[in-house]
Structure 1
Amino acid sequence: MRKTMLATAAMLTICSAAFAQSTVVVTDPAPTGSVVLPGEVRTYVMEQNTPSVVYDGEITVGATLPDTVEVHTVPNVDGYGYTVINERRVIVEPKTHRVIQVLE
């Protein structure tokens, strides 16, 4: 009986370890006002050599940029555009020019 219990306990331990490796548990949501970007969006934007635009307004999440600011698309990913303002890379919604995130 004791061997059976030990074998069962060992099997449960192995199975739970294997299961844990393939499971992602999110316990801490993104901070208020920030968006978790797909990794390929951040990588793409950080790799681009886009000239910076001088802008007098404050660049904050939720602000809408004027239509005069050129927004570049992120290939193969809908819903994300970017621009570089005052040497800061800014992720925006392409249709509305609303700031989604300012990359640091």
Structure 2
Amino acid sequence: MFTAAKDLISSKAAKSYANNLIGRYGAVEELTIDSGRKRIDVVVQLQGEVSAIGVTIEKYQLHQEDGRTQIEVLDSSCTRPWLQAAMRDHLHGRRFDVPGWAAAAL
């Protein structure tokens, strides 16, 4: 029960954070974090796109390094084949710093 409530609050905060990051390109319509399964689902409406794009981080792993928390995407899927290919080429296996609040949420 506690994990579900934490994930709900974290998802809302992450959606707001993501919208601040991509505001010039579009808007995040939905963002759901499932910290137990290490999964993140996002639906984004990008400017110029006829329909929303679904992106799922199927599996991620967190790493601690030099006092920072980093996320590594292990598997993902997307409703656009070209974006799926780009994610596999440029996202998988790389580590990205996450804000402190997000580290606690993930």
The TM-score bracket by the shorter chain reads under 0.3
| Larger proportion of helix | 2
Relative contact order higher in (CA < 8 Å, ≥ 6 apart): 1
| Larger proportion of strand | 2
TM-score by length of 2: 0.21
